[in-house]
Amino acid sequence: MTNENAENCVFDSNDSTPTESFSTELLDVITAALEDPDNHLDSIVKEALKRMDGTSITFAIPGTVSITGADILISVDREHILREEPYQVHDWNRWPYVLPPIKNELLPGDPFNFKWMIYLNDGRCVVDKFKEGRWQKWPSDKILFFKDFSPVPASAKALLDPETALGWSSVASCEPPEGVACEVLLKNHLRGYCSTFKEGHWDFFNDSVVAFKAINLPYANYPEN
C-alpha cells in the first residue's frame, strides 16, 4: 500500500457508498445544492469524509457542479456521521476515519493521557497529542494513521527476560536495527517516544534510550484499496 493509496481510502474499505454514513435529511441539504446530484453526490461526500477533522465535516461543492454556479461550502459537526469506524487498541487506526478515544488509558497520568504515535504521509513515525478534537502539533492533512503505544515491561529486570519483556529489547544486550523506526523506553522507565537508530546512534534521545521495540508500520496491515 502506497502513501497515495492510504490518502485515498474511502470511509469504509468494505463500503463503496459513503452516503450511507449520513442521514437522509442532511443528504437532502447537500443534494439541493447540486445541479446534478446523481453524478456528483457520492464524490462530494467521499471527499468530505477524506478531509474531515476531529470535530467537523465540510462538504465543498465547486461552482462547476453547484445549483448557483458559485462555490458552496456546507459545514456540519462530525456528530452527523451515523457510524464511525471503531477504534482498534494496539493497532494502527486510519485518520481521519477513526477518532482517538477521549483518554488514552494505556498511558496514564499527565502528559500522556492524549499522547499517540502517528504515521505521516511522508513515511515518518512521530508523536502528537490529541485534544478537543484536534492534533496539537502536526497538520491533520499530513496524518494517515495513529495508534497507542505498546505496554512496557514492569521493571528493568523484566526487560531482560524474553518471557516478560513484551517484545522489547534492552540496548545493553541487543543491537538496534539500523534505520528502523522504534518505540523507545527512556531512563526512569519513561515511555511514549519514538526514535530511529542510524549510524551508531539514535536520532532522538540518544543518551537516554534503554530499550526499544521496532514499529510495525501500518501498510503491512492494510491491503490495497
* pLDDT tens-digit map of 161-178: 888 888 899 888 888 989
Q: Is the pLDDT of residue 43 over 60?
A: yes
Say how far apart CA 166 and CA 33 lie, in whole Å.
54
Burial of 174: CB neighbours in 10 Å, binned 0-12, 13-18, 19+:
exposed
Predicted confidence band at 7 (pLDDT cuts at 50, 70, 90)? very low
- Is residue 74 within 8 A of residue 80, CB to CB? The reply is no
Say how far apart CA 92 and CA 203 lie, in whole Å.
23
Q: What is the mean pLDDT of the segment spanning 37-57?
A: 92
Say how far apart CA 73 and CA 44 lie, in whole Å.
11
Q: Is the pLDDT of residue 145 over 80?
A: yes
Q: Is the pLDDT of residue 97 over 60?
A: yes
pLDDT of residue 117: 93
Q: Which three cell numbers stand for residue 38?
A: 446523481
Q: Is the pLDDT of residue 28 over 90?
A: yes
Q: What is the mean pLDDT of the segment spanning 192-196?
A: 88
Q: Which three cell numbers stand for residue 105?
A: 488509558
Predicted confidence band at 105 (pLDDT cuts at 50, 70, 90)? low
Instruction: State the chain's mean pLDDT as an integer.
Output: 83
Q: Is the pLDDT of residue 47 over 70?
A: yes
Q: Is the pLDDT of residue 95 over 90?
A: yes
Please tell me which residue, 21 or 5, carries the higher pLDDT value: 21
Please tell me which residue, 2 or 209, carries the higher pLDDT value: 209
